[in-house]
């Protein structure tokens, strides 16, 4: 059971906009930024978004992040087949005194 809560899956057709939610608490999102990672099968996670909404250099601008209160979301606009992957949210957590992850959301492109 993860500290941050994400839906297990979502899907969309090419060109569509999909949104992945991530629910946290005061001990994490209350004071710290959310980050988002993309992971393809058999590969390492890759940082997409840091500091709530900053894209890492080289990440397409169809990926965007936001946070409000204890909830955050990752949006993928103009969904492409190569976006089919698992996405994880993460943040520092004061209760753990370490970073915590969401359970991951599998994005399927129909």
Partner 1 sequence: QLQLQESGSGLVKPSQTLSLTCAVSGGSISSGGFSWSWIRQPPGKGLEWIGHRHHSGRSSNNPSLKSRVTISVDRSKNKISLQLTSVTAADTAVYFCARVIYGDYDWYFDLWGRGTLVIVSS
Pick the binder of partner 1 from 12, 50, 77, 84 (CB under 8 A): 50
90 contacts partner 1 (rule: CB under 8 A): yes
The binding track of 5-44 with respect to partner 1, each residue x by CB under 8 A or -, is --------------------------xxx-x-x-----xx
Structure tokens at 80: 């492409």
Computed over its alpha carbons, how large is the radius of gyration of the chain?
A: 13
The correct pick among 74, 88, 107, 109 for binding partner 1 (CB under 8 A) is 88
Neighbours of 34 (CB within 10 A): 26
Q: What residue has token string 């909404």?
A: 53
């Amino acid at each position: 059971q993860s500290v941050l809560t994400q839906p297990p899956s979502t899907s969309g057709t090419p060109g569509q906009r999909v949104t992945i939610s991530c629910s946290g608490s005061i001990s994490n999102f209350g004071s710290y930024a959310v980050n988002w990672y993309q992971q393809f099968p058999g590969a390492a996670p890759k940082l997409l978004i840091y500091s709530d909404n900053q894209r890492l250099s080289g990440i397409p601008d169809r990926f965007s992040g936001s946070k409000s209160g204890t909830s955050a979301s990752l949006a993928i606009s103009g969904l492409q087949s190569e976006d089919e992957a698992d996405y994880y949210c993460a943040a520092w957590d004061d209760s753990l005194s370490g970073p915590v992850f969401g359970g991951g959301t599998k994005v399927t492109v129909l």
